[in-house]
């Protein structure tokens, strides 16, 4: 049988792959036509092209794969006609091919609205690698770009503009961002998160004309307003590529799409349609997972296997949009059936969670997650499989009191039919069977054996949990690796870095990893390099998160905060005058923090080195407010001034802060020293806290403030100053070497087998015989301390990286402020 496939996008390629696995070349010959000049590539991660990935990196399979699997691949050739009577297809080059069965995987094109001036120079669509090359070339000539479309595609395009260093504006016709996935509150929070990254959002905007002569000058809106822009990227939706089918007499929908039945057959019994071109039950599916399911159904049918039908597909999705996690599942806004919403919102952390519970309280109907999607996979499974809810459904997004994990139900509670991987339609039962029958023990092995996690990758956490659960059930040791690029835990990577003297991410990746790395492992390794050698952050800034990269916290509106170190809160009048002078000179908002420091808010990126120079010239150092390092050592005035004080808490706090400043750890560290048991410095809520006694100092460890407060545990009583410092040395280094990434000391202790008794045995009693080694290693970090601000101030090359525009020293014009109580604040403070 001769099968011809028109379209070699992601779905067309996946169909060829599935059909070839089910039937050899002696049974079915496959010819696939692609109009682009290269084999199928990953459109889902297209924006990574702007981060350095090449077209080759994005390929789903090289040309050699097609040859090895006896699939005839024809690229750069557009099929222009189908002769249904003769069962042939003709290309624009005049080539003709015969078929027995024809599969249309023509996909979609970018929707381009009919607007006056749409043909001007500087107007692009965001669809193919050729489009991206054109955008990159034109983007070098301009400073500012607008993106038409505030949905998934539009925000992906906005990320690309941001990566190019362009001032970015998003224009959306609807009253909110992502109107199909988010409700008003979720969309507003997403808006605020994006605006904090200096992306300006315009909603409720109907573009009626593109202004300019030959080249674009700006956008005119129906309300009379005007937006200046020298470049426009249109990413406002898709249109099914159905012109070939329509010209061939196949039935199409009134608003586009090739009409198919549950077998994905058109009105011609020898022609199928799959992917974004297919109109099934009046629905066009714009995600890759439904397309893959369609490919599976048609491949099974052509291979003569048990007939599979396509009955629709769940459009739930988890995405990362410009660094912001977003997820929606089931009925996200509770509009399909009567439901009761449960909503959690934390504006300070940029988190919004909504779940919709059925009126009888028995089912989870759907929900929305913005800023934190860690519970997405489990919530989706509960929705899809009708799993029972906890007595208090709010636990699904708030977590049960006293439990570390959200929700309460685990992957083990899912039925065997639960769809774990939606891209490849792989059930829990299929994954479990492969693990048990084939003796799989790593995530990579599971991926290769089942195909799970090879699509969008969203199911990876759940597959990892399933593997862990099964291995533990078999009595096997489960190894927790950092990510798919390193088959090592954080602790093992730290040892490898120290033993092999690796000084850069690339060295470690080349020797111990694979692939190009990801947003998970890069910041982890950056932290490990600093934990091992105190490597200056600017030396590996490109793998850091934004705050670490620019040595300052990015704040609302896109400005940055400057927090100089003020050990123990002790500061001279001269130093106060310097801070006041800097704040006044650069127009910064000033505030005393809860950690006894002074925050200076509202600095633009290019101002930071100049501000740091004035502060470091006066003896100030970086306060590391941006890093996973020691933040503050708070103190009361102790015996120096207080009539109740029994020890000099200020001097000890200064000594502690000066000793451990700059040391990188799995998470931020906070400390305090109280001069008596009245505890004015609140030492028992800190990662390590010290309280004076008549005989010495009591040392407490693993406390935690914040949303899940936890009192610190008593480690040692009445210790002398030297002994206390020795125990803190050991404690900090043991934590640095053994904790998982982004784990505070409280959470680390909660998971530590043996708890505080075991920790006391290791730190105080030296039961493992590693005390001297821990002290030696932390002393090496102390001895190699440097001020990261000073490093930038002394280096013109590093200073060049602190600018908003790659080709200009101008300030970000999108930053806007207003006045409140005599100081400037972001314009949207009230929101």
- Give the C-alpha distances (Å, rounded to integers) separating 431 from 354, 466, 472, 692: 30, 8, 16, 56
Same domain, 557 and 706: yes
Q: What is the pLDDT at residue 536?
A: 60
Please list the residues that pair with 228 across neighbouring strands: 218
Same domain, 228 and 348: no
Give dist(CA 102, CA 121) in Å, integer: 39
Q: State how beta strands 232-234 and 123-125 pair.
A: parallel
Q: Looking at the domain assignment, is residue 271 inside a domain?
A: yes
Would you say 397 and 403 are in contact if contact means Cβ atoms under 8 Å apart? no
CATH code assigned at 212: 3.50.50.60
State the 10-residue block means of pLDDT for the chain, 831 residues long: 97 96 94 96 85 86 95 96 97 97 96 93 94 94 94 88 90 92 92 88 96 95 95 93 96 95 96 97 90 95 87 79 84 85 87 92 92 87 87 81 42 83 85 91 86 78 85 78 85 90 90 86 86 67 66 81 93 94 94 92 91 95 92 94 93 96 93 94 95 96 82 95 97 94 90 91 95 95 92 88 70 78 75 46
For 159, the domain range is: 123-236
pTM of the model: 0.59
How many domains does the structure of the chain reveal?
4
Q: Looking at the domain assignment, is residue 798 inside a domain?
A: no
Would you say 564 and 642 are in contact if contact means Cβ atoms under 8 Å apart? no
Give dist(CA 743, CA 630) in Å, integer: 14
Q: Looking at the domain assignment, is residue 436 inside a domain?
A: no
Q: What is the pLDDT at residue 263?
A: 95
Q: Looking at the domain assignment, is residue 660 inside a domain?
A: yes
Which positions make up the binding site? 636, 642, 676, 680
Phi, psi for 373 (deg, rounded to 5): -115, 25
Q: What is the pLDDT at residue 796?
A: 87
Q: Looking at the domain assignment, is residue 392 inside a domain?
A: yes
For residue range 50-84, what is the model confidence (pLDDT) as tens digits? 877 888 989 999 999 999 999 999 999 999 999 99
Same domain, 652 and 598: yes
Percent of the chain with pLDDT over 90: 60
For residue range 85-120, what is the model confidence (pLDDT) as tens digits? 999 999 999 999 999 999 999 999 999 999 999 999
Q: What is the pLDDT at residue 546?
A: 66
Same domain, 617 and 741: yes
Q: What is the pLDDT at residue 175?
A: 95
C-alpha neighbours within 13 Å on the C-beta side of residue 498: 17
Same domain, 572 and 688: yes
Q: Looking at the domain assignment, is residue 453 inside a domain?
A: no
CATH code assigned at 565: 3.30.413.10
Which positions make up the binding site for [4Fe-4S] cluster? 636, 642, 676, 680
Same domain, 604 and 743: yes
C-alpha neighbours within 13 Å on the C-beta side of residue 494: 24
Q: Looking at the domain assignment, is residue 618 inside a domain?
A: yes
Same domain, 600 and 680: yes
150 contacts: CB under 8 Å, gap ≥ 6: 170, 171, 172, 174, 176, 177, 178, 201, 203
Tokens of 337: 């059936």
Give dist(CA 518, CA 320) in Å, integer: 13
Q: Report the sign of the C-alpha dihedral through residues 511, 458, 321, 550, in that order.
A: negative
Same domain, 222 and 270: no
Same domain, 769 and 666: yes
Q: Looking at the domain assignment, is residue 205 inside a domain?
A: yes
**DSSP per-residue letters across 640-701:** HH-TT--S-HHHHHHHHHHHHTT-B-SS-EEEEEESSTT-TT-GGGSSEEEEE-SSSEEEEE
Same domain, 769 and 683: yes
Angle at 44 between CA 29 and CA 166, to 5 degrees: 140
Which positions make up the binding site for siroheme? 680
Q: What is the pLDDT at residue 806?
A: 60
Number of residues assigned to the chain: 831
Q: What is the pLDDT at residue 403?
A: 40
Q: What is the pLDDT at residue 623?
A: 94
| H/E stretch holding 67 | helix 63-68
For residue range 219-232, what is the model confidence (pLDDT) as tens digits? 999 999 999 999 99
Q: What is the pLDDT at residue 760?
A: 95
* Nearest residue to 190 (alpha-carbon basis) of 343, 319, 326, 317: 326
Q: Where are the alpha helices (DSSP H) in 277-412?
A: 288-302, 376-385, 395-398
Picking from 219, 236, 253, the residue at the C-terminal end of a domain is 236
Give dist(CA 67, CA 72) in Å, integer: 7
Picking from 409, 439, 467, the residue at the C-terminal end of a domain is 409
Same domain, 87 and 142: no
Q: Both ends of the chain: CA-CA distance in Å?
A: 63
Give dist(CA 268, CA 252) in Å, integer: 12
Same domain, 568 and 598: yes
Eight-class DSSP state of 412:
G
C-alpha neighbours within 13 Å on the C-beta side of residue 107: 26
Tokens of 429: 């039962």
Give dist(CA 713, CA 426) in Å, integer: 46
Q: What is the pLDDT at residue 481?
A: 80
Picking from 236, 264, 293, the residue at the C-terminal end of a domain is 236
């Amino acid at each position: 049988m001769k099968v011809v496939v028109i379209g070699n996008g992601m779905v067309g390629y996946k169909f060829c792959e599935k059909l070839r696995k089910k039937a050899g070349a002696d049974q079915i010959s496959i010819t696939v036509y692609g109009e682009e000049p290269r084999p199928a590539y990953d459109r889902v991660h297209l924006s990574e092209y702007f981060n350095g990935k090449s077209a080759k990196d994005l390929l789903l399979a090289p040309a050699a794969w097609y040859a090895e699997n006896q699939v005839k691949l024809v690229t750069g050739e557009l099929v222009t006609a189908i002769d249904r009577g003769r069962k042939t297809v003709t290309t624009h080059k005049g080539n003709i091919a015969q078929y027995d069965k024809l599969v249309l995987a023509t996909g979609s094109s970018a929707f381009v609205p009919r607007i006056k001036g749409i043909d001007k120079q500087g107007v692009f669509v965001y669809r193919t690698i050729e489009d991206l090359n054109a955008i990159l070339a034109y983007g070098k000539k301009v400073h500012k770009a607008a993106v038409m479309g505030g949905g998934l595609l539009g925000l992906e395009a906005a990320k690309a503009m941001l990566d190019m260093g362009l001032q970015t504006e998003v224009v959306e016709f609807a009253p909110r961002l992502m109107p199909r996935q988010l409700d008003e509150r979720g969309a507003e929070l997403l808006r605020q998160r994006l605006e904090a990254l200096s992306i300006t959002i315009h909603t409720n905007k109907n573009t009626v004309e593109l202004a300019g002569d030959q080249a674009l000058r700006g956008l005119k809106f129906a309300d009379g307003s005007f937006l200046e822009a020298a470049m426009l990227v249109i990413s406002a939706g898709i249109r099914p590529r159905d012109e070939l089918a329509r010209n061939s007499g196949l039935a199409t929908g009134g608003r586009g799409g090739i009409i198919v039945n549950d077998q994905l057959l058109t009105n011609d019994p020898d022609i199928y349609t799959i992917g974004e071109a297919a109109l099934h039950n009046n629905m066009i599916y714009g995600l890759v997972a439904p397309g893959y399911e369609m490919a599976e159904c048609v491949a099974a049918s052509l291979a003569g296997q048990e007939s599979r039908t396509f009955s629709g597909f769940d459009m739930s999705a988890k995405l990362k949009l410009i660094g912001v996690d977003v997820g929606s599942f089931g009925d996200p806004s509770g509009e399909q059936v009567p439901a009761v919403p449960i909503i959690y919102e934390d504006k300070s952390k940029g988190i919004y969670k909504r779940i919709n519970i059925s009126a009888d309280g028995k089912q989870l109907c759907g929900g929305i997650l913005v800023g934190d999607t860690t519970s997405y996979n489990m919530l989706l499974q509960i929705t899809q499989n009708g799993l029972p809810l906890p007595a208090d459904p709010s636990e699904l997004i708030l977590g049960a009191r006293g439990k570390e994990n959200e929700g309460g139900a685990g992957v083990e509670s899912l039925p065997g039919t639960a769809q774990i991987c939606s891209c490849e339609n792989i059930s829990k039962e299929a994954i479990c069977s492969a693990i048990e029958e084939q003796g799989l023990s790593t995530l990579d092995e599971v991926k290769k054996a089942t195909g799970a996690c090879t699509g969008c990758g969203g199911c990876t956490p759940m597959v990892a949990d399933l593997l862990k659960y099964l291995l533990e059930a078999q009595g096997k040791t489960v190894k927790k690796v950092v990510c798919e690029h390193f088959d090592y835990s954080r602790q093992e990577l730290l040892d490898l870095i120290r033993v092999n003297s690796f000084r850069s991410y690339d060295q470690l990746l080349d020797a111990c990893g694979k692939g190009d790395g990801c947003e998970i492992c890069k910041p982890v390794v950056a932290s490990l390099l600093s934990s091992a050698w105190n490597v200056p952050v600017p030396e590996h800034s490109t793998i850091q998160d934004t705050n670490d990269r620019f040595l300052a916290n990015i704040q609302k509106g896109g400005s940055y905060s400057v927090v100089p170190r003020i050990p123990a809160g002790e500061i001279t009048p001269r130093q106060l005058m310097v801070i006041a002078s800097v704040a006044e000179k650069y127009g910064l908002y000033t505030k005393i923090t809860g950690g006894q420091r002074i925050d200076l808010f509202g600095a633009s990126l290019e101002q930071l080195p100049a501000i740091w120079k004035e502060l470091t010239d006066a003896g100030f150092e970086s306060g590391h407010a941006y890093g996973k390092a020691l933040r503050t050592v708070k103190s009361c005035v102790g015996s120096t001034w207080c009539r109740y004080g029994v020890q000099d808490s200020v001097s000890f706090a200064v000594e502690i802060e000066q000793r451990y400043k700059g040391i990188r750890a799995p998470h931020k560290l906070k400390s305090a020293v109280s001069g008596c048991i009245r505890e004015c410095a609140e030492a028992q809520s800190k990662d390590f806290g010290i309280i004076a006694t008549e005989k010495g100092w009591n040392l407490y460890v693993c406390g935690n403030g914040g949303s899940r407060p936890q009192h610190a545990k008593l480690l040692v009583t009445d210790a002398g100053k030297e002994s206390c410092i020795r125990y803190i040395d050991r404690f900090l280094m043991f934590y640095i070497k053994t904790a998982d990434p982004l784990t505070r000391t409280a959470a680390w202790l909660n998971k530590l087998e043996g708890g505080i008794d075991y920790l006391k045995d290791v730190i105080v009693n030296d039961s493992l015989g590693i005390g001297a080694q821990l002290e030696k290693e932390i002393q090496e970090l102390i001895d190699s301390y440097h001020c990261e601000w000073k490093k930038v101030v002394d280096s013109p090359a590093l200073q060049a990286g602190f600018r908003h525009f790659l080709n200009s020293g101008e300030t970000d014009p999108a930053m806007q402020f207003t006045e409140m109580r005599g100081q400037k604040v972001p314009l949207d403070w009230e929101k």
